[in-house]
Amino acid sequence: MGFWYLLLLLTGIILIIVGLMKKGVSAAVKAVILLFVIGVLFIVASLVLLMPGSSDLIAELLRLE
């Protein structure tokens, strides 16, 4: 499962880079903001999932105990 979390992290980084590279395009401002936000969410989610004990944290948040 760590492979998928790492893939999520790399996808988030790529989306942020793509979002930052297209700063001068005024017609696609919404797309750039969307790429940036999705990239940040992917990075945060992957870092949370890669932390030790993340399965316990997710189970507690979803009340799966």
Length in residues, the chain: 65
Per the structure, the count of domains in the chain is: 1
What is the domain range of residue 58? Answer: 2-62
pLDDT score for 35 = 79
pLDDT score for 55 = 80
Token pair 């988030």 is at which residue?
A: 12
- Between the alpha carbon of residue 16 and those of residues 5, 8, 53, 56, 57, the distances in Å are 17, 12, 27, 29, 27
Closest CA to 7 of 50, 60, 59: 50
Q: List the pLDDT tens digit at each of the 65 positions of the chain.
A: 677 778 888 888 887 787 777 766 665 677 777 778 888 888 888 888 888 888 887 778 788 65
H-only helix segments in the chain: 2-21, 29-50, 54-62
pLDDT score for 65 = 58
CA distance 9 to 50: 10
